[in-house]
Amino acid sequence: AFTYAGEVLEKRVRPLAEGIGAKIILPCDVTKDEEIDQVFDTLRKEWGGLDILIHAIAYAAKEDLSNPYVQTGRQGFHLALDVSAYSLVVLSRHAAALMEGRKGSILTMTYMGSEKVIPHYNVMGVAKAALEASVRYLAHDLGPKGIRVNAISAGPIKTLAAAGISGFREMLHYSSDRAPLKRNIDAEEVAQAALYLVSDMSSAVTGEVVHVDAGYNIMGM
């Protein structure tokens, strides 16, 4: 099952979903509880249960990325935290009800901007920090039900989301020059890490942020 928010993203998501034979493709604006309810009602009716939830959602207004962080307005701050961090909480709550007795796995995506200052990442870095803290608290809450919650902190990759970050091309060069492996990563490497984290291969792993960044995060200078 795949979800999307808005017609623009639907044009990207639908061909991908149909290409792998997905039968459930639904709109889901995570700022609207009624749309979240509709998604999980559909999953309950169609599947009866759920094994895996992939949370790959983040958003901040363009001006809140380009302007200095100190200029972030209240509305922009709330929007970034709502979409990028709180959405994991509400989606996990719904997913947990369908994962009872199934040893489910919840996975989200984060970035090193949660730990260190990345120019033009600004409020998104704060949102990702909240997201990572949520991973730990959710892992604690849902662990007794056998549900694991983890995050992947990936290095820079050319994606639609990355296109909104000023100076992204320079970030790619900087990362590859300084990472121990002396290169950038690709989407397949992130997918392989995701496969590990949602599978039984990682059955004792929860509450973790796994870096997939060619080792860049360990560097001090």
> How many angstroms from the chain centroid is the CA of residue 83?
10
196 catalytic, yes or no? Answer: no
Distances in Å between the Cα of 168 and the Cα atoms of 6, 18, 127, 200 are: 25, 30, 19, 35
Which one is catalytic: 121, 137, 196, 216?
A: 121
Q: Which of 98, 166, 108, 162 is nearest to 132 (CA)?
A: 108
69 catalytic, yes or no? Answer: no
The count of C-alpha atoms lying within 13 angstroms of the C-alpha of 116, restricted to the half-sphere facing its C-beta, is 9
- Chain position carrying tokens 């709180």: 86
Task: Collect all residues with Cβ–Cβ distance below 8 Å to 214 and sequence separation of at least 6.
Answer: 155, 175, 176, 179, 180, 181, 182, 183, 184, 185
Which one is catalytic: 4, 59, 111, 216?
A: 111
Question: How far apart, in whole angstroms, are the C-alpha atoms of residue 22 and residue 153?
Answer: 26
Residues tagged active-site? 111, 121
